[in-house]
Amino acid sequence: MSLITADQLHRISPVARSDIVAAIIDKADEMFPAYGLATLLRVRHFLAQVAEETGGLRVLEEDLDYSAMRLMQVWPARFPTLATAEPYAHNPRRLADRVYGGRMGNTGPDDGWKYRGRGLLQTTGKATFALLQHDTGLPLVDQPELASAPEHMLQCAVVSFVRIHGVLAACDRNDVVGVTRLVNGGLTNLAARRLYLAHCDHAIAELGAIGAVPA
């Protein structure tokens, strides 16, 4: 019996893409125990964060196609007026280089676009991809798209969750606010994360192959 089933993932998000569900199931038995996701609380919190970051297990690449008005709402300091926002509206590449360039380890002229959010936890920024490369052995600095590849997406997300964000203690406290701060850097869409965690609590009553470890 697998640790996680397709039925459980679809109960967490009925709109989940079948290819993303398959990629998680395919690697969960290997990756969850390898990195310490071996209790109900840890798995539930991981999947809740993944579900929110991917829009319900649907999106593996950051959507940067914004209207000018939306840019003013999301990045008010960078785009205080329509005149400043309009050149970047519906121009994802230019926007990524504007909002991500020169920070998070991005130094090249197109690094903001190259290292935009990718994968199950929307890994962003060259510096984070470099950390992920160190811990996974994957050439993610040269090929950041590997974070979204079916054969690698779960490992990248688990390593990011456990080693880069260091969330296990917060998971063990069942502290969704603490987990969210560590994963997101803030509390963006906290209500949705709480809702996904509730779905996970109902969908995952036990862990399959290794049995239910007490929460």
- Residues 74-123: pLDDT tens digits? 999 999 999 999 999 999 999 999 999 999 999 999 999 999 999 999 99
- Output the CA–CA distances (angstroms, integers) from residue 160 to 42, 76, 115, 165, in the order listed: 14, 29, 15, 6
pLDDT confidence of residue 215: 43
Is the pLDDT score of 63 beyond 50?
A: yes
Is the pLDDT score of 59 beyond 80?
A: yes
Percent of the chain residues topping a pLDDT of 90:
93
> How far apart (Å, rounded) are the C-alpha atoms in residues 201 and 40?
9
213 versus 69: the higher-pLDDT residue is 69
Confidence of residue 2 (pLDDT cuts 50, 70, 90): confident
Percent of the chain residues topping a pLDDT of 70:
95
Exposure string of 95-125, with b = 16+ CB inside 10 Å and e = fewer, is bbbbbbbeebbbeeeebbbbbbbbbbbbbbb
Confidence of residue 3 (pLDDT cuts 50, 70, 90): confident
pLDDT digits (tens, 9 = 90+) for 164-209: 999 999 999 999 999 999 999 999 999 999 999 999 999 998 665 4
Tell which residue, 12, 76, 87, 79, has the closest CA to residue 43.
Answer: 12
Q: What is the mean pLDDT of residues 21-43?
A: 96
Tokens coding 203: 């969908």
> How far apart (Å, rounded) are the C-alpha atoms in residues 213 and 207?
7
Average pLDDT, rounded, for the chain: 95
> How far apart (Å, rounded) are the C-alpha atoms in residues 48 and 146?
22
pLDDT confidence of residue 210: 43
pLDDT digits (tens, 9 = 90+) for 131-143: 999 999 999 999 9
pLDDT confidence of residue 212: 41
Indicate the pTM of the whole model: 0.94
Decide if 170 contacts 42 (C-beta within 8 A).
Answer: no
pLDDT confidence of residue 169: 98
> How far apart (Å, rounded) are the C-alpha atoms in residues 73 and 69?
7
